[in-house]
Amino acid sequence: MPALIPVDNLLGAAFIGIVLSTVLYGVSCLQTYLYYTHYSKGDSLRLKLFVSLVVALDTLHVALISTAYYHYTVTNFGDSSALKRVTWSLAVQITFGGLVGLLVQLFFAKRIYVLGKRRLVIPGIIGLLGFVELGCSIAYTIAGYSDHYFSVSGKEGHADAYTSTALTANIVCDLLIAGCTVYYLREGRTAFYRTNKAVTLLMTYALSTCILAMIFSLVCLITWVTMNQTLIYAVFYWILIRIYPCSFLSTLNSREASLSGQGSSRSGPHETVVEPCF
């Protein structure tokens, strides 16, 4: 028997988003285990703590969206009026998601700073866009607390501008990271086959992860603008948040393959391609 009030675009979308994003969270957990057991040798304590911070915030974000789903499906089971209200965990998870994205983008900004011979302009722009995204995420959380209702948190309220600005800044930020990383890595090519193979591998990682993040940011922006009174956008947003730790950890764990690809080549300037950035 169908439900009296269709909840496919609300609880159904949230369920799909949680399942898919949790699968990616499991991948991040595996990458974290591999990092600390195989790939963290020689890394500074600061980098190891940074990895722990990113994973901890990612875990907290998963807990928050799970708490929100429990609130709507168990605590308020059968209460259709509860579906119109934004619960605290659903509002707060936006801020923690923005914080996870900021930390990973700052990591890649630091790597571009190293690869770009310590030029500050592009890394500074990336950092600024990341903080704009976080600021809009915090503003969205505040708007969710004050407005309480999905209908008011959409186009009729302030959250539409915050969300659109945050996702647009995110798209531009990821585009800069991908473009600059590929550009500087291409500059690092030499006559050595193994070095070029390592550079190509790193370019592939940069393009695949950043472009994937841009695609999900764009789809999330489109679904928010067109269907902002549903949770369909959350499916893509929660997956987007999981992509950042995955790309960050895969970058760290791919360094060993890059180093082995360099072989006996001792071209000094190319060592920064695979060196830790912290």
Per-residue pLDDT, averaged over 13-36, amounts to: 95
**Greater confidence, 227 or 237?**
237
Percent of the chain with pLDDT over 90: 47
pLDDT band, residue 1 (cuts 50/70/90)? very low
Question: Is the confidence at residue 67, as pLDDT, over 80?
Answer: yes
> What pLDDT is recorded for position 196?
62
Please name the residue that has the structure tokens 């947003």.
237
pLDDT 10s digits, 119-143: 899 999 999 999 999 999 999 888 8
Write the CA distances from 191 to 24, 107, 265, integer angstroms: 38, 29, 10
Contact residues for 140 (Cβ-Cβ < 8 A; gap 6+): 91, 94, 95, 159, 162, 163, 166
Mean pLDDT of the chain: 82
pLDDT band, residue 278 (cuts 50/70/90)? low
> What pLDDT is recorded for position 143?
80
Percent of the chain with pLDDT over 70: 78
Task: List the single range of 11-15, 133-137, 145-149 with lowest mean pLDDT.
Answer: 145-149
Contact residues for 176 (Cβ-Cβ < 8 A; gap 6+): 122, 125, 126, 129
Per-residue pLDDT, averaged over 73-92, amounts to: 84
Strand partners, 85: 149
Query: pTM score, two decimals?
Result: 0.85
Residue 111 near residue 254 (C-beta atoms within 8 A): no
Question: Is the confidence at residue 270, as pLDDT, over 50?
Answer: no
Torsion of CA 107, 111, 117, 122, to 10 degrees: -60
Domains defined along the chain, listed by start: 8-257 (1.20.1070)
CA 262 – CA 198 distance, rounded (Å):
6
pLDDT 10s digits, 152-193: 444 445 667 888 899 999 999 999 998 888 888 777 666 555
